[in-house]
């Protein structure tokens, strides 16, 4: 059988269906599905994603030839159902189509839709005649030239300039003293068409194509071309979407929302995408077409009365004014509203998830143009899953699998301090488009947002409106503020997807790109000034508003309880202080997987004692200095062991190269010289002697304990004494002493002997015993390879995947930033191996280490404590190799818990 490249749909039938997203893209698959479940969808066809791949391999001509007949058949199929003719010479109603891109997942970087394709100077007259509505015909035509010129022919605005088509529109509005594009007369629209054609000619040097077929192929190829544009490539990188997926192309008969006051277009959500509440909502515009709502050209109106009233209140608009000027769809077109409401319920029931829908009403009749599972904030993700579980729409496992672990992060982020908020100066209010508390310096251009961010600044991106070009800049900003656009504007939708705070449609602000400032009610805010945004209320504040920790609600707890129920691995935390340990315990951490002791040497005057130890030449001298540190360390360990009472606490012995502690400044060298009563030259000599060419591979880890056993003795004593003290107070401390950077079993054996000897001594002295374990980090490739030998001594392994990655790749962690981005751009690496565990290489060492270790020690407890412990895909890997736990920073604990449960469910 030959490959099928084109799938048709229409009139209650479809060749595709919802689960064919890989082939038809999300939009195409769901257009087919909506047909199949009896919803009104204009007829059309989908060109598969495979054709996109062929297009990139074989080029345009080959592909056009390959699918030419199928496309012709697809158009004929539409002509029949819609009773119209593409390129009609007057024998029938002219068929106009939209050309729409559509990958497996929706991608803002892709080609914008072209509407009303098929129009030209003859067809527009025919359309006017056959529809009896010249205004509508010419409005459609001017829109077509604008869109086609823009997205297919590449007419674009230079930086800081406005879109040249919009400039023409504004000029004409000014000359005619009108505000809305709905006020244009037929003659005005005819003028616009002529001017638009001139814009195309001057900007591209080409005439606007008049042949419908030429237009169609131009648009289809433009969709395929857009798959490889910088914008699309960037979006795929940010969201880990493979290039091989490709995009489908949907060609669909037009339905018209711009036929007059009984027509409209809009966007709707079956639940609230920002908060997750089960409230049908959305926006629409009367007498408008598609992108008008999203582009923020006019102020869109709310779909429901309830939503409309809430909106009016936020805007300070009276009920009378609202009802007369901005009525909801529910009021303006009750029948179409009732139909839409029924459709949204049907779709949610059908897909068992919140739907994000696009629709058009043509002369009172509802048409569905798109549906998909809606993007949502982290908070909405949690709430919807819990609600749908309660409503019996989904089961527990599905509720858990619906969680994008990384998004939980948003819920844990700081919110504005309530008291500080009361005092804050509100400069204006926009729409609460995407929740969060953002605070940063104002910038006006996306590329500059990136520059500022690279300099270490926090920025808030302020725009008239955003477009897909601004993606990069939005991604690095703390928050986004726009003057135009509603809850479904580009800025709002993209920000919610990114989990970024956004206030949109703050209509009082006037952005002046040239002067690089914005004014609002008489106040001028310049580039670089601080502002704060409250994405939950839409309020904009002057200056920095203080933030505080978020509190977690019942729904969050419900998800965490589900995670607990289904997980196999447990989650520990990396914590160096009792405060962090307690925080992590609140988030559900079951112990500490890594307590680094070196931080404890830096605090206050401890560093003096540490330096004294490093600088002294004799064992006695070092012992004296270490004895000063001992009580301080013991105190720290008591605190952490107490915070994790009853749970294991893995404490790592001193790890970094000693030179990190040496006094390098002349002033501190002088200070140490005086304190120790030795000449400053001696100090300098010693510091020089400690210099290493390659400290990461130098005198560090257990190598310190081997050369200075007294350090291990002191640390072991501090830990065991701390545990005994707690035990005497009736607590249940469970220390696990971890020897770092072991490469041979003998290193571990010798260190373990010291630890055990000291422990026995302390038990004698204190007259009490505690359970403790001795284990090691596996972070040198040799340790993974000889894990069977090491496990004969070690009671536990903790994979230190930061160092293991460094040493397996031979990439210095501190220098990799110079070349890794290039490696990723050139496709040598998919992701940064320090962020996402390299399963093919480093992962195999990990797997091998676990297997070999358990071979000689069946009870061996195994975990991971590198940065990867909180990264979802790495957590899933850890589960697959049979680890007992992962350990990560406190704020990542919930993320890791959900990822671990998902791993267990998916297996
Ligand atoms: P995006 O992927 O950016 O959402 P779409 O392909 O969904 O782009 O098109 C954007 C808008 O264009 C739709 O929401 C719809 O309002 C309008 N549109 C697309 N196709 C048609 C059509 N056949 N008839 C009427 N409007 C359409
Ligand atoms: Mg679009
Ligand atoms: Mg759409």
Write the pLDDT tens digit of every residue in 226-245.
Answer: 999 888 888 888 788 898 99
The answer, yes or no, to whether residue 576 has pLDDT greater than 80, is: yes
CB distance 264 to 285 below 8 Å: yes
**Position 488 pLDDT exceeds 90:** no
* Cα torsion angle, 383, 22, 344, 342, sign: negative
Burial of 89: CB neighbours in 10 Å, binned 0-12, 13-18, 19+: exposed
- The H-or-E segment that residue 776 falls in is strand 773-778
> Considering only the top CATH level, what class is 572-656+695-807+834-892?
alpha beta
CATH superfamily for 264-376 is ATP-grasp fold, B domain (3.30.470.20)
**pTM for the whole structure:** 0.81
Question: pLDDT tens digit string along 369-391?
Answer: 999 999 998 999 999 999 999 99
> Band of the pLDDT at 773, cuts 50, 70, 90?
very high
In this predicted model, which residue has the larger pLDDT, 370 or 294? 370
Is 779 annotated in a binding site? The answer is yes
Question: What is the Cα–Cα distance from 667 to 796, expressed in whole angstroms?
Answer: 44
Counting beta carbons within 10 angstroms of the beta carbon of residue 296, is it exposed (0 to 12), middle (13 to 18) or buried (19 or more)?
A: buried
Give the number of other Cβ atoms within 10 Å of residue 731's Cβ.
15
The residue whose CA is least distant from atom 15 of ligand 1 is: 290
810 dihedral zone (left: phi>0; alpha: psi -120 to 50; beta): left
616, pLDDT greater than 80: yes
SS3 68: helix
Helices (H), 691-728: 702-707, 709-728
Tell me how crowded residue 835 is: count the other CB atoms within 10 A of its CB.
12
Give mean pLDDT, residues 330-338: 98
In the chain, the percentage of residues whose pLDDT exceeds 70 is 99
Q: Which residues pair with 269 in a beta bridge?
A: 281, 356
Question: What order do you get walking across the sheet with 530-534 strand by strand?
Answer: 426-429, 539-542, 530-534, 437-443, 459-463, 479-482, 501-504, 431-434
d(CA 5, CA 421): 57
Reference 874, options 849, 831, 838, 826; nearest CA is 838
Residue 533 has pLDDT above 90, yes or no: yes
- Tell whether the torsion through CA atoms of 630, 632, 638 and 643 is positive or negative: negative
Confidence check: pLDDT of 158 > 80: no
**Catalytic-role residue among 439, 702, 865, 888:** 865
What lies within 8 Å, CB to CB, of 460 at 6+ separation is 438, 439, 440, 441, 442, 443, 477, 478, 479, 480, 481, 531, 533
**Does 722 have pLDDT greater than 70?**
yes
pLDDT tens digits, 415-449: 898 888 888 999 999 888 888 899 999 999 999 99
Q: How many helices (H) and strands (E) does the chain have?
A: 37, 32
Residue 83: Cβ within 10 Å count: 10
Dump strand ranges (E) for 513-647: 517-520, 523-526, 530-534, 539-542, 547-548, 570-574, 592-596
Q: How far, CA to CA in Å, does 613 sit from each of 606, 629, 662, 690, 877?
A: 11, 10, 10, 13, 42
Q: Is 801 annotated as a binding residue?
A: yes
Domain spanning 414-549, CATH class: alpha beta
Domain range 121-209, CATH class: mainly alpha
| pLDDT score for 604 | 66
pLDDT at 155: 92
Nearest-CA neighbor of 296 among 509, 19, 506, 81?
Answer: 506
Long-range contacts of residues 869-873, Cβ cutoff 8 Å, at least 24 apart: 869/574, 869/593, 869/801, 869/896, 870/895, 870/896, 871/835, 871/836, 871/837, 872/405, 872/406, 872/896, 872/899, 872/902, 873/836, 873/837
Instruction: Give the Å distances, CA to CA, from 663 to 615, 633, 684, 699.
Output: 10, 21, 9, 17
* pLDDT at 162 (0 to 100): 82
Strand 13-14 with 517-520, pairing: unpaired
DSSP 4: P
On whether 568 is known to bind a ligand per the annotation, the reply is: no
All residues at 6 or more sequence positions from 582 whose CB lies less than 8 Å from its CB, including other chains? 643
Could you tell me the distance, in angstroms and rounded to a whole number, from the CA of residue 372 to the centre of ligand 3?
9
* Binding site membership of 252 for ligand 1 (Cβ less than 6 Å): yes
CA distance 702 to 707: 9
**Ligand 1 contact via 30 beta carbon (within 6 Å):** no
Given ligand 1 and candidates 115, 231, 371, 489, which is best to mutate, with the most ligand atoms within 8 Å of its CB?
115
Question: Residue 865 catalytic?
Answer: yes
End-to-end Cα spacing for the chain: 35
The percentage of residues in the chain with a pLDDT greater than 90, rounded to a whole number, is 73
CA distances from 388 to 184, 276, 375, 406 (A): 47, 10, 16, 21
8 A C-beta contact, residue 435 and residue 382? no
Maximal C-alpha separation, the chain: 106
The predicted structure's pLDDT at residue 664: 82
Average pLDDT over residues 766-795: 98
Confidence grade of residue 85 (pLDDT, cut at 50, 70, 90): very high
Please tell me if the CB atom of residue 467 comes closer than 6 angstroms to any atom of ligand 1: no
- For the stretch 801-831, pLDDT in tens is 999 999 999 998 778 878 888 898 888 998 8
549-554 long-range contacts (CB < 8 A, ≥24 apart) are: 549/414, 549/415, 550/411, 550/412, 550/413, 550/414, 550/415, 552/411, 552/412
Both structure tokens of 72: 């012709």
Q: Choose one of 100, 108, 283, 285 to mutate for the ligand 1 pocket test, by most ligand atoms within 8 angstroms of C-beta.
A: 100
CB-CB contact of 472 with 489 (8 Å): no
* Exposed e or buried b per residue across 763-782, where buried means at least 16 C-beta atoms within 10 angstroms of its C-beta: eeebeeebebebbbbbbbbe
The answer to whether residues 250 and 99 touch, using CB atoms and an 8 Å cutoff, is yes
DSSP characters over 313-332: HHHT--HHHHHHHS--HHHH
**Spans of all domains in the chain:** 1-119+211-254, 121-209, 264-376, 414-549, 572-656+695-807+834-892, 658-691
Q: Is 623 a known ligand-binding residue?
A: no
Contact 360 CB / ligand 1 (< 6 Å): yes
The per-residue pLDDT for range 197-226, each reduced to its tens digit, is 999 999 999 999 999 999 999 999 999 999
**Rg over CA atoms, the chain:** 33
On whether the CB atoms of residues 10 and 42 are closer than 8 A, the answer is yes
Q: By mean pLDDT, which of 403-412, 697-706, 878-887 is the weakest?
A: 403-412
| Helix (H/G/I), strand (E/B), else coil: 119 | coil
Please indicate whether residue 255, judged by its CB atom, sits closer than 6 Å to ligand 1: yes
For ligand 1, whether the C-beta of 361 sits within 6 Å is no
- Buried b / exposed e over 805-828, threshold 16 CB at 10 Å, is bbbbbebeeeebeeebeeeeeeee
Query: How far, in Å, is the centroid of ligand 3 from the Cα of 249?
Result: 13
Alpha-helical runs (H) found in 177-227: 186-204, 212-226
Alpha helices in 149-280 (DSSP H): 164-176, 186-204, 212-226, 230-238
Question: How long a stretch of residues is the chain?
Answer: 907
Give the pairing type, strands 773-778 and 796-799.
parallel
Give the Cβ contact number of residue 173 at 10 Å: 16
pLDDT at residue 1 greater than cutoff 60: no
Q: Which atom of ligand 1 is nearest to the CA of 267?
A: 14
CA angle 778, 781, 782 (to 5 degrees): 90
Q: Look-up: residue for tokens 């604008």? A: 146
Question: Using the 8-state DSSP alphabet, how is residue 525 labeled?
Answer: E
Place of tokens 């064992």: 619
pLDDT surpassing 90 at residue 531: yes
> In the structure encoding, which two tokens stand for residue 859, read together?
């009870």
- In short, whether 301's Cβ falls inside 6 Å of ligand 1 is no
Ligand 3 midpoint to CA 451 (Å): 32
pLDDT at 296 exceeding the cut of 70: no
Count of alpha carbons within 13 Å of 738, Cβ hemisphere only? 30
Q: How many CB atoms lie within 10 A of CB 412?
A: 19
Please, what CATH class does the domain formed by 1-119+211-254 belong to?
alpha beta
When the pLDDT of each residue in the chain is averaged and rounded to a whole number, the result is 92
Cβ neighbours, 10 Å, residue 716: 27
Q: Among residues 52, 77, 439, 490, which one is catalytic? A: 490
In sequence order, the β-bridge partners of residue 799 are 778, 864
**DSSP letter (8 states) at residue 814:** T
| Structure confidence at residue 494 (pLDDT) | 80
Please determine, for residue 559, whether its predicted confidence score (pLDDT) is greater than 90.
yes
């Amino acid at each position: 059988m030959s490959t099928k490249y084109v799938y048709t749909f229409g009139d209650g039938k479809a060749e595709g269906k919802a689960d064919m997203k890989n082939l038809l893209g999300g939009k195409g698959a769901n257009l087919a599905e909506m047909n199949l479940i009896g919803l009104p969808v204009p007829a059309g066809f989908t060109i598969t994603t495979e054709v996109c791949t062929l297009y990139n391999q074989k080029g345009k001509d080959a592909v056009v030839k390959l699918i030419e007949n199928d496309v012709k058949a697809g158009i004929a199929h539409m002509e029949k159902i819609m009773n119209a003719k593409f390129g009609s010479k007057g024998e029938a109603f002219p068929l106009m189509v939209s050309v729409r891109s559509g990958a497996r997942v929706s991608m803002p970087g892709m080609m914008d839709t072209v509407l009303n394709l098929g129009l030209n100077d003859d067809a527009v007259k025919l359309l006017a005649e056959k529809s009896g509505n010249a205004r509508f015909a010419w409005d459609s035509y001017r829109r077509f030239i604008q869109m086609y010129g823009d997205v297919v022919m590449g007419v674009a605005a230079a930086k800081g300039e406005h879109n040249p088509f919009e400039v023409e529109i504004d000029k004409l509005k000014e000359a005619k003293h009108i505000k809305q594009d709905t006020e244009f007369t037929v003659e005005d629209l005819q003028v616009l068409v002529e001017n638009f054609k001139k814009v195309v000619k001057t900007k591209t040097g080409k005439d606007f194509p008049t042949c419908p077929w030429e237009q169609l192929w131009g648009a289809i190829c433009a969709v395929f071309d857009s798959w490889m544009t910088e914008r699309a490539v960037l979006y795929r990188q940010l969201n880990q979407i493979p290039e091989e997926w490709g995009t489908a192309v949907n060609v669909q008969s037009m339905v018209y929302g711009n036929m007059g006051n009984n027509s409209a277009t809009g966007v709707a959500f079956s639940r609230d995408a920002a908060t997750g509440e089960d409230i049908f909502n959305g926006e629409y515009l009367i007498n408008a077409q598609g992108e008008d709502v999203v582009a923020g050209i006019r102020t869109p109106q709310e779909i429901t009365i309830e939503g409309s009233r809430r909106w009016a209140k936020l805007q300070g608009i009276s009920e009378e004014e609202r009802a007369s000027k901005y009525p909801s769809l529910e009021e303006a077109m009750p029948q179409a509203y009732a139909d839409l409401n029924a459709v949204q319920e049907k779709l949610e029931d059908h897909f068992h998830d919140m739907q994000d829908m696009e629709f058009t009403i043509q002369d009172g009749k509802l048409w569905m143009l798109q549906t998909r599972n809606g993007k949502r904030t982290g908070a909405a993700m949690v709430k919807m899953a819990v609600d749908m579980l309660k409503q019996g729409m989904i089961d527990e496992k599905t509720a858990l699998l619906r969680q994008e672990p990384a998004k939980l992060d948003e819920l844990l982020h700081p919110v504005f301090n309530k008291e500080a908020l009361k005092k804050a100066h509100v400069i204006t209010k926009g729409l609460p488009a995407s929740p969060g508390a953002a605070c940063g310096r104002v910038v006006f251009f996306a590329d500059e947002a990136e520059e500022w961010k690279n300099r270490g600044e926090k920025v808030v991106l302020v725009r008239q409106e955003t477009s897909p070009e601004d993606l990069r800049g939005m991604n690095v900003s703390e928050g986004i503020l726009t003057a135009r656009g509603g809850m479904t504007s580009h800025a709002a939708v993209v920000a919610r997807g990114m989990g970024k705070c956004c206030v949109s449609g703050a209509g009082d602000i006037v952005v002046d790109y040239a002067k690089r400032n914005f004014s609002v009610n008489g106040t001028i805010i310049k580039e670089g000034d601080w502002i704060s945004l409250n994405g939950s209320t839409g309020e904009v504040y002057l200056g920095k508003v203080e933030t505080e920790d978020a509190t977690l609600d019942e729904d969050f707890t419900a998800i965490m309880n589900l995670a607990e129920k289904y997980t196999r691995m447990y989650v520990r935390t990396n914590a160096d202080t009792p405060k962090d340990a307690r925080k992590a315990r609140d988030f559900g951490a079951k112990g500490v997987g890594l307590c680094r002791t070196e931080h404890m040497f830096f605090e206050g005057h401890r560093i003096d004692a540490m330096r004294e130890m490093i600088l002294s030449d004799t064992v006695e001298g070092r012992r004296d200095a270490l004895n000063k540190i001992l009580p301080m360390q013991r105190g720290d360990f008591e605190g952490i062991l107490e915070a994790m009472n009853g749970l294991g606490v893995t404490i790592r012995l001193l790890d970094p190269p000693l030179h990190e502690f040496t006094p390098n400044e002349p002033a501190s060298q002088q200070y140490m010289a005086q304190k120790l009563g030795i000449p400053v030259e001696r100090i300098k000599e010693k510091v020089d002697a400690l210099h290493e060419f390659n400290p990461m591979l130098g005198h560090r880890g257990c190598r310190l304990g081997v050369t200075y056993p007294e350090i291990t003795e002191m640390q072991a004593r501090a830990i065991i004494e701390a545990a005994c003290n707690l035990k005497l107070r009736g607590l249940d401390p469970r220390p696990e002493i971890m020897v770092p950077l072991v490469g041979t079993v003998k290193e571990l054996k010798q260190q373990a002997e010291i630890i055990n000897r000291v422990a026995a001594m302390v038990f004698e002295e204190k007259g009490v015993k505690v359970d403790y374990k001795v284990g090691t980090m596996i972070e040198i490739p040799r340790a993974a390879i000889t894990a069977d030998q090491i496990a004969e001594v070690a009671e536990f392994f903790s994979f230190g995947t930061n160092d293991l990655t460094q040493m397996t790749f031979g990439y210095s962690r501190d220098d990799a930033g110079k070349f890794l981005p290039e490696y990723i751009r050139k496709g040598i690496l998919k992701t940064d191996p320090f962020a996402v565990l390299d399963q093919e290489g480093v992962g195999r060492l990990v797997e091998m280490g676990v297997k070999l270790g358990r071979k000689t020690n069946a009870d061996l407890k195994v975990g991971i404590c590198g940065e990867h412990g909180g990264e979802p895909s790495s957590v899933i890997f850890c589960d697959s190799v049979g680890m007992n736990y992962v350990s990560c920073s406190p704020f990542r604990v919930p993320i890791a818990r959900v990822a671990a449960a998902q791993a267990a469910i998916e297996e």
